[in-house]
A and B are shown apart, each in its own frame.
Chain A
Amino acid sequence: KQEVTQIPAALSVPEGENLVLNCSFTDSAIYNLQWFRQDPGKGLTSLLLIQSSQREQTSGRLNASLDKSSGRSTLYIAASQPGDSATYLCAVDTGRRALTFGSGTRLQVQP
């Protein structure tokens, strides 16, 4: 059974810092990995999707990497802003198209 773990569970940083969120998964036979953002009491916003054959994806200040063989992914956020404060969720698709989610990293960026 696929399990997804995210570290740290919570993170507080001052505005402007670069930061890294970590995600690990137990079964490397994944189809793709996605990073989402969830604001309190709201749904999910897709940030980046990395196919199993890819190593990384970039969108603006966000960069996500994938090392499938070691079961790890990182989300790098450059020059963090208070508006980046949210919970970031990592999820893997093992080919069923349904996603297995990690428990998330709650990020607080202090102005």
Chain B
Amino acid sequence: GAVVSQHPSRVICKSGTSVKIECRSLDFQATTMFWYRQFPKQSLMLMATSNEGSKATYEQGVEKDKFLINHASLTLSTLTVTSAHPEDSSFYICSAIGLAGDHPDTQYFGPGTRLTVL
């Protein structure tokens, strides 16, 4: 089946620093990637939709200048949390849709990145 990877799986940083998270589709081309955030004991909330070669579409309440998304190729999207603060600590998960799998609408999720901001 289609595989999506994320790197790093876990990151701890100091308040005020920037952190970059990578999301890669390993064996298929992802025309669209999504970034979700999950706080402890809560469900996933969509942050933004990313299409290759165009600007990301952010959900209401998500600061585009704080969460920079770059979808430079059909296999890679990056999320950069700029000037991270403790309230940004969360589990960030990406997903990808593309030319893969049994069904074109199936979203393939990465394993997630646990961000802890001290």
Contacts and interface: CB of A to CB of B under 8 A. Distances in A.
A34 B106 CA distance: 9
Interface string B33-63: 0101000001111100100000000000000
B112 A46 contact: no
B112 A42 contact: yes
A31 interface: yes
Nearest to A45: B109
Interface stretch (A14-22, A66-74, A77-85, A100-108): A100-108
Nearest to A1: B60
A99 to B, nearest CB: 7
Contacts of A111: none
B105 A101 contact: no
Q: Tell me what chain A mostly uses at the interface: helix, strand, loop, or mixed.
A: strand
Interface in B58-89: none
A98 B112 contact: no
Interface in A1-36: 31-32, 34, 36
B97 interface: yes
A interface residue count range (under 10 / 10 to 19 / 20 to 34 / 35 or more):
20 to 34
A101 B59 CA distance: 14
A43 B105 contact: no
Contacts of B43: 89, 101-104
B46 A98 contact: yes
Contacts of B6: 43
Contacts of B114: 41
B107 interface: yes
Given A97-B97, A98-B49, A44 B42 contact: no
Nearest to B6: A43
A75 B58 CA distance: 31
A96 interface: yes
Contacts of B44: 44, 89, 91, 99, 101
